[in-house]
Chain A
Amino acid sequence: MTDLIRLTAAETAAKVATGEVSAVEVAQAHLDRIAEVDGGEHGGVHAFLHVDTDGALAAAKAIDGKRAAGEELGPLAGVPLAMKDVVVTRGLPTTSGSKILQGWIPPYDATITTRIKDAGIVMLGKTNMDEFAMGSSTENSAYGPTRNPWDQTKIPGGSSGGSSAAVAAFEAPLSIGTDTGGSIRQPAAVTGIVGHKPTYGAVSRYGLIAFSSSLDQAGPFARTVLDTALLYEAIAGHDPLDSTSLDVPVAPVVAAAREGANGDLAGVKVGVIRELGGEGYEPGVTAAFEAAVATLKGLGAEIVEVSCHSFDYALAAYYLIAPSECSSNLARFDAVRYGLRVGDDGNNSLEDVMSLTREAGFGPEVKRRIMIGTYALSSGYYDAYYGQAQKVRRLIADDFNKAFAQVDVLVSPTAPTVAFGIGEVLDPLTMYKNDLATLPASLAGVPAISVPAGLSEGLPVGLQIIAPTLQDDRCFKVAAAFESASPFPEIPS
């Protein structure tokens, strides 16, 4: 039975569709796996903050019922999924990794939650994350860190570290993450799985607890490129509830993944971004990346080097824009309507209760960013900080446009290092540098995918493939071709 956890999502769906296995058996196998390896705050992978055993089994039973009734099932029906706790789920605790939302049970579903349920995908539970998606290691969770299945003394990346670890640890074949500056791609890279940050606006943000509205984007994790594509097609597409959702056809990523699996990249021009490599990148990461570029060349791709000078300013711009937006987005956590309330003893004023609640409910990184953002938006500083950062953002988009006039996709290492030790990086600036390679695509809103590209010091390295806006299928074609030529390292069980 434990073999069920090793299947790909596509294989699982096929077996469920034919009745070879039941969705309930699949769900139970994964619930058993979670019970076996996930542990909790003090040990184990700790990918999950909340496991919804009853809900998962009920959803699986419904799929089996539909099959028995002869109803048509979707391409991922009966496949289990782990949901990042930043996504709102009706009736299931949703904390965004924060104490301030402890105990809140949402009365509504995010659009992607609805789409996942409609697709017959079985939600196992909610995954751990850096508080409000702010971090690169999942150490900023208010509920304790998640541990990397490759080495449980290491971080699983962040902020979607629970979702990446759950897939890498065979607790789920699919998971949902969100990426604001690299929070899908970097965890995918350091746990040796596939993670896709879609074009900004391709996936609805309705029901994603906002960190930085102009950057946040939900996307899929899986262990194969095809599974990742299947999940993307289940969640993507226009949503009238999200004004920034693009009303365009969904990029045909499943077809692109199947096409790429042929391993033919003849005629594809790949640009290596000079600024995303070299100094600041570990030698083992650089070596794995160079080998990956050689593999792409071997598949027929034409390799050119491109320069995007503005990328050097991406980190500075990002750490003004994201905190500015979060300072406003997180203002709603005020103890009035939901979540934590501290000091409401009849002696404290309303303002005192708000302050005490926010003091107790937010962790240090969240407070740091709220303060930076509040300062950057304040009267007299707006132009110098937020305004200037927006200009840098336009320059970065311009650099992408120029580069994509020359090449079909751009590549870089996903992260400058492999997974580091839990508790090892204490300085916020050093931590922020984890996002060096992923920030430009976030700031420009273009799609990018991270695929496993071998190991360094026994830990996974990621290859980032970036495509122009709405050309997510290009990411998948190149990723699938690379996967065919460079079998992904077997994740230790």
Chain B
Amino acid sequence: MTFATVEDVLAKYEPTFGLETHVELNTKSKMFCGCSTDFGGEPNTRTCPTCLGLPGALPAVNALAIESTIKIGLALNCSIATWCRFARKNYFYPDMPKNFQTSQYDEPLCFDGYLDVEVDGVTHRVGIERVHMEEDTGKNTHVGGATGRIHGADYSLVDFNRAGIPLIEIVTKPVPGTGALAPEVAKAYVTALRDILRTLGVSDVRMEQGSLRCDVNTSLAPLGATEWGTRTETKNVNSLRSVERAVRSEMIRQAGLLDAGQRILQETRHFQETTGETRPGRSKEEATDYRHFPELDLVPVAPAPEWVEQIRANLPELPAARRARLVESLGVSADDLQQMSNAGVVELVGETVEAGAPVAEARNWWQGYLTQQANAKEVETAELNITPAHVARVIALVADGTLSTALARQAVDGVLETGDDVDAVIAAKGLKKVSDTGALEAAADAAIAADPDAAQKIRDGKVAAVGALVGQVMKATRGQADAAAVREILLRKLGQA
């Protein structure tokens, strides 16, 4: 049979997934030399003898990278090694200056942790196998040829600016037992991991720039089987949504093969953003022997237990704890919380309230206007270019009468565009209620003169007709007048006040 949905698959197979996540640290200098890690820059300008692999050059470990890795390990409930080494992973490739990658192999700095993630109110524990350090490679550009790949290219260019940037690899244990939720749990894990890394301040965690990259391992086993199925490794998964799609697509593809009596090849596959499917890459069965052995140019990393405890004590409040605290301080009902959670705005509302706004107003903005804006832009609400502090300021300015609702939205639009302070946006756009009575009086007279029928109705006692005239005045003042004040002026002028 063919499998159209994950639910079809689950009738016969049990999925297991695992994730290998690469995170570029945001240290100022590279992992083993003093070169800058800034993104971009003219090719090969952020290089030195060490990261170019020149004869004789040696590495020296960036201590901040070690500290960042320990922070990540602690945040993921890992044990921290008291002694571990770097290793060399040997293979030839032109973006590898030394033709070996300095990495960690069987002695990771952090190991054996977990991360709890929540999907639909249920907590799933994702085991963390290891968190280890390595260096990034350079970047090849293959020029000419049809595919943009090395085969068939006229020539290739190598940029070593990225070579040696600290990379952290976070490897989960296989995650079984999530059933139909497997794709969502996988996405929730990467989301939670991203939030932790952002909170720790150790990485920019920008998937679109490649500072957070995921490889997704997926396998299926017949229901009741005692062994894992053969797994595939899907690369090129460059967004949170793609994580979910990649797991789903592999489950459906593998189920189709298994049902047709075919076997799954253990291979690397590439996720196709446009189709949501995976395509085969190189086969793991013919993979190179990396001949790992200890990196003897570096001394072992042996973090003192006291130092580790000091790092633990100074960790910032992590997202899960912050969320629990915010929920408590919000004091909302379980239903309301679920709504906010579904909209992905619990923390945003909580922080807006912490910044001084009333709960109702904060929810109103985040679940209303801002969620609409996010949907229009096809991003997560949390990814909007506006912070809880911004929103709290807008709410305060409405409360004290400085901004009308219409002006407040214009102010928010300005922040979304520029990221500037609310007050700076107001100043730049000239968003002030018109309180110049003379100007309002004139605008009211003009509106009355322009619509004599409506004016007469009001004079005759049909007060409801004033809405049309208020609208005219507001239009004339580009929304900057206080609608209530305008209404009062109009009614007075037409003998109804």
A residues with a Cβ closer than 8 A to B are 87-88, 94, 96, 101, 104, 106-108, 110, 205-210, 213-214, 240-244, 324-325, 327-328, 331-334, 336-338, 349-351, 354, 374, 377-379, 382, 386
| Chain A residue with Cβ nearest B91 | A331
Chain B: minimal CB distance from A373 (Å): 9
B449 interfacial contact with A, CB 8 Å:
no
**A382–B56 contact, CB under 8 A?**
no
A-B contact pairs, 13 of them (CB 8 A): A205-B297, A206-B57, A207-B56, A210-B56, A243-B61, A244-B298, A244-B299, A325-B296, A337-B53, A350-B150, A374-B291, A378-B289, A386-B293
Enumerate chain B residues within 8 angstroms of A333, measured Cβ to Cβ. Answer: 55
- Chain A binder among B94-102, B408-416, B452-460: B94-102
Contact B55 A106 (CB under 8 A): yes
The reply to whether B291 and A378 form a contact with Cβ atoms under 8 Å apart is: yes
Q: Which of B52, B94, B150, B291 contacts A328 (CB 8 A)?
A: B291
Does more than half of chain A's interface fall in helix, strand or loop, or is it mixed? Answer: loop
- Quote the shortest CB–CB distance from B252 to chain A (angstroms): 34
Q: Which residues of B contact A214 (CB under 8 A)?
A: 296
Q: List 5 additional A-B contacts (Cβ < 8 Å) besides A243-B58, A331-B92, A338-B54.
A: A94-B55, A96-B55, A244-B296, A244-B299, A374-B291
Residues of B within 8 A of A386 (CB): 293
The reply to whether A241 and B58 form a contact with Cβ atoms under 8 Å apart is yes
Residue of A nearest to B94 (CB): A336
At the interface, yes or no: B77 with Cβ under 8 Å from chain A?
Answer: no
Residue B53 contacts which of A94, A208, A325, A332 (CB distance < 8 angstroms)?
Answer: A332
Q: Which of A106, A241, A327 contacts B54 (CB 8 A)?
A: A106
Instruction: Tell me, yes or no, whether B88 is within 8 Å of chain A by CB.
Output: yes
Distance of A96 Cα from B99 Cα, bound (Å): 19
B373 within 8 A of A: no
Residues of B within 8 A of A108 (CB): 49, 54, 57
CA distance A96 to B57 in the complex (A): 14
Query: In the complex the two chains form, is B60's CB within 8 Å of A350's CB?
Result: no
Complex: A88 Cα to B151 Cα, angstroms: 36
Bound form: Cα–Cα A329–B299 in Å: 17
B49 touches A107 (CB 8 A): yes
Interfacial chain B residues near A209, Cβ < 8 Å: 55-56
- Do B57 and A350 touch (CB < 8 A)? no
CA of A338 to CA of B60 in the docked complex: distance in angstroms?
A: 23
Known contacts A209-B55, A241-B58, A378-B289; A328/B156 CB under 8 A: no
* Given A206-B58, A332-B98, A350-B94, A324-B156 contact (CB < 8 Å): no
Q: Give A292 Cβ to nearest chain B Cβ, in Å.
A: 35
Q: Is B471 an interface residue (CB 8 A)?
A: no
- A213 and B55: CB pair below 8 A? no
Who on chain A is nearest to B50 by CB?
A241
Given A210-B56, A332-B99, the answer on whether A354 and B291 have CB atoms closer than 8 Å is no
B428 to chain A minimum Cβ distance, whole angstroms, is: 49
* A377-B94 contact, Cβ under 8 Å, with A106-B54, A107-B54: no
Most buried by A among B88, B90, B293, B299: B293
Q: How far is the CA of A338 from the CA of B52 in the complex (A)?
A: 10
Q: Is the CB of A88 within 8 A of B291?
A: no
Q: In the bound complex, what is the Cα–Cα distance between A244 and B86 (angstroms)? A: 13
In contact, B99 and A243 (Cβ under 8 angstroms): no
Question: How far is B293's CA from A391's CA once the two chains are assembled, in angstroms?
Answer: 15
B55:A240 contact, CB within 8 angstroms: no
Find the B residue at minimum CB distance from A240.
B60
| In contact, A334 and B289 (Cβ under 8 angstroms) | no
B56's partner among A88, A240, A327 (CB-CB below 8 A) is: A88
CA–CA, A101 and B56, complex, Å: 12
Number of interface residues of B (CB under 8 A): 31
Known contacts A244-B296, A328-B90: A379-B57 contact under CB 8 Å: no
CB neighbours of B156 from chain A (8 A): 350
B327 within 8 A of A: no
Q: In the complex, what residues of B have CB within 8 A of residue A207's CB?
A: 56-57
A102, B496: Cα distance in complex, Å: 100
Q: Which residues of A contact B49 (CB under 8 A)?
A: 107-108
Contact with A along B20-61 (1 / 0, CB 8 A): 000000000000000000000000000001001111111111
- Which residue of the partner chain A has the closest CB to B34? A241
- Known interface pairs A213-B296, A243-B299; A331-B99 also in contact (CB < 8 Å): yes
The one of A88, A94, A210, A377 in contact with B293, judged by C-beta atoms closer than 8 angstroms, is A377
Known contacts A244-B296, A331-B100; decide if A379 and B289 are in contact (CB<8 Å).
yes
Q: Is B207 an interface residue (CB 8 A)?
A: no
Q: Say whether A331 contacts B98, CB under 8 Å.
A: yes
- Quick check: is B10 within 8 A (CB to CB) of the other chain? no
Among A96, A206, A337, which residue has its beta carbon within 8 angstroms of that of B52? A337
Q: Which residue of A88, A324, A325, A377 contacts B55 across the interface (Cβ within 8 Å)?
A: A88
B158 within 8 A of A: yes
Question: In the complex, how many angstroms separate the beta carbon of A275 from the nearest chain B beta carbon?
Answer: 26
In the complex, chain A residues whose CB is within 8 Å of the CB of B97: 332, 337
Q: Which residues of chain B come closer than 8 Å to A332, judged between CB atoms?
A: 53, 55, 97-99
Q: Determine the residue in chain A with the shortest Cβ distance to B98.
A: A332
* Chain B 272-330 interface residues, beta-carbon cutoff 8 Å to A: 289, 291-293, 296-299
Top 3 nearest A-B pairs (CB, nearest first) are: A331-B99, A377-B291, A213-B296
> Which of B53, B56, B61 gathers most chain A CB within 10 Å?
B56
From A209, A327, A377, residue with most partner B Cβ within 10 Å: A377
Nearest B residue (CB) for A244: B299
Instruction: Tell me, in angstroms, the Cα distance from A88 to B55 when the chains sit together.
Output: 8
How many Å lie between the Cα of A348 and that of B413 in the bound state? 57
Minimum Cβ distance to chain B for residue A387 (Å): 9
Contacts A377-B291, A379-B291 given; indicate if A243 touches B94 (C-beta within 8 A). no
Residues of A within 8 A of B58 (CB): 205-206, 241-243
Q: Which of A213, A331, A382 has the most CB of B within 10 A?
A: A331
Measured in the bound complex, the distance between the Cα atoms of B57 and A209 in whole Å is 8
Alpha-carbon gap, A354 to B52, bound state (A):
17
Q: How far is the CB of B191 from chain A (nearest CB, A)?
A: 37
In the complex, per-residue mask of B81-116: 1 if CB is within 8 Å of any chain A CB, else 0: 000000010101010011110000000000000000
Compute how far the CA of A349 lies from the CA of B149 in the bound complex, rounded to whole angstroms: 13
Check if A334 sits within 8 Å of B291, measured CB to CB. no
Task: Name A207's closest neighbour in chain B (CB-CB).
Answer: B56
Return B488 CB to nearest CB of chain A, in Å.
Answer: 76
A150 to chain B, nearest CB (A): 32
Chain A min CB distance to B405 (Å): 61
Contacts of B151 in A (CB 8 A): 349
A328-B291, A328-B293 known; A243 vs B52 contact (CB < 8 Å): no
Complex-state Cα separation, A489 to B79, whole angstroms: 63
